[in-house]
């Protein structure tokens, strides 16, 4: 006489999976909204169950699997919220506004670092020195303050004034109406 299989045997899970699959697929489709995601959730549920095996204290395996399915659906919904939605590519783009080109490049987009360096030479040395150390040599406010023997707040003030004066020079030199 053959002995009944153990409750944790892989054969038991496979048989139970085959039995509950149609009902679980319908539940997953209702929750996910499409068959492909429902299949993914179902596969995830069955993989989780197979990895863990049936716990010894579980009396109703289908109820246990239903709880696992519910948790897999919740995880799927959370993942879906985090990823961007995708629009199917079709020939018809109803409801989408066609974007026009932004227009010509702004005038200041053609200014080079050399132009900035040249314009920097025209502003007062006290502002030029702070600006050059911060922008071109990448020193922090603290480092510049220590090197020049001035308070940190003075570095910020001089840097702000240097930017303002540099902007004025560039606007005059290049005839630009907006900020560089």
The domain that contains 164 carries what CATH number? Answer: 1.10.10.10
Question: How many whole angstroms separate alpha carbon 164 and alpha carbon 151?
Answer: 20
**10 vs 176, more confident:** 176
Question: How many whole angstroms separate alpha carbon 35 and alpha carbon 108?
Answer: 52
- Let me know if residue 94 belongs to a domain: no
- Let me know if residue 132 belongs to a domain: yes
Instruction: Give the domain-ending residue among 36, 63, 82.
Output: 82
Q: How far is CA 155 from CA 56, 120, 133, 143, 152, in A?
A: 70, 17, 10, 10, 5
Task: Give me the CATH number covering residue 60.
Answer: 1.10.1740
Instruction: Give the domain-ending residue among 82, 102, 123.
Output: 82
- Let me know if residue 72 belongs to a domain: yes
Residue whose tokens read 């025209």:
122
Least confident segment among 49-53, 109-113, 158-162: 109-113
Measure the CA dihedral 155/159/165/170, to 10°. 150
Q: For the whole model, what pTM was predicted?
A: 0.42
- Let me know if residue 27 belongs to a domain: yes
pLDDT higher than threshold 70 for residue 44 = yes
At residue 7 the predicted structure's pLDDT band, cuts being 50, 70 and 90, is very low
Could you tell me if residue 126 is left (phi over 0), alpha (psi between -120 and 50 degrees) or otherwise beta?
alpha
- Let me know if residue 127 belongs to a domain: yes
One domain for residues 72 and 120: no
| Tally of CA atoms within 13 A in the half-sphere of 64 that contains its CB | 17
Asked if 27 and 72 touch (Cβ cutoff 8 Å), the reply is no
Domain count, the chain: 2
Question: How many whole angstroms separate alpha carbon 132 and alpha carbon 149?
Answer: 16
Q: What is the mean pLDDT of the chain?
A: 82
- Let me know if residue 118 belongs to a domain: yes
Q: Say what the pLDDT of residue 97 is.
A: 66
Instruction: Give the domain-ending residue among 65, 82, 99.
Output: 82
Domain that holds residue 47: 10-82
């Amino acid at each position: 006489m053959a002995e009944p299989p153990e409750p944790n045997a892989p054969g038991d899970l496979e048989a139970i999976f085959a039995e509950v699959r149609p009902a679980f697929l319908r539940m997953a489709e209702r929750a996910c909204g499409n068959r492909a995601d429902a299949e993914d959730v179902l596969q995830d549920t069955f993989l989780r169950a197979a990895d863990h095996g049936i716990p010894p204290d579980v009396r109703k395996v289908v109820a246990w699997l239903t709880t696992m399915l519910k948790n897999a659906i919740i995880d799927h919904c959370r993942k879906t919220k985090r990823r961007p939605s995708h629009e199917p590519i079709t020939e018809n783009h109803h409801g989408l506004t066609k974007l026009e080109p932004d227009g010509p490049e702004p005038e200041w987009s053609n200014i080079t670092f050399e132009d900035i360096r040249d314009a920097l030479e025209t502003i007062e040395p006290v502002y030029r020195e702070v600006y050059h150390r911060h922008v071109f040599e990448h020193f922090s406010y603290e480092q510049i303050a220590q090197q020049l023997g001035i308070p940190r707040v003075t570095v910020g003030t001089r840097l702000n004034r240097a930017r303002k004066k540099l902007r004025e020079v560039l606007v005059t030199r290049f005839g630009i109406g907006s900020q560089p």
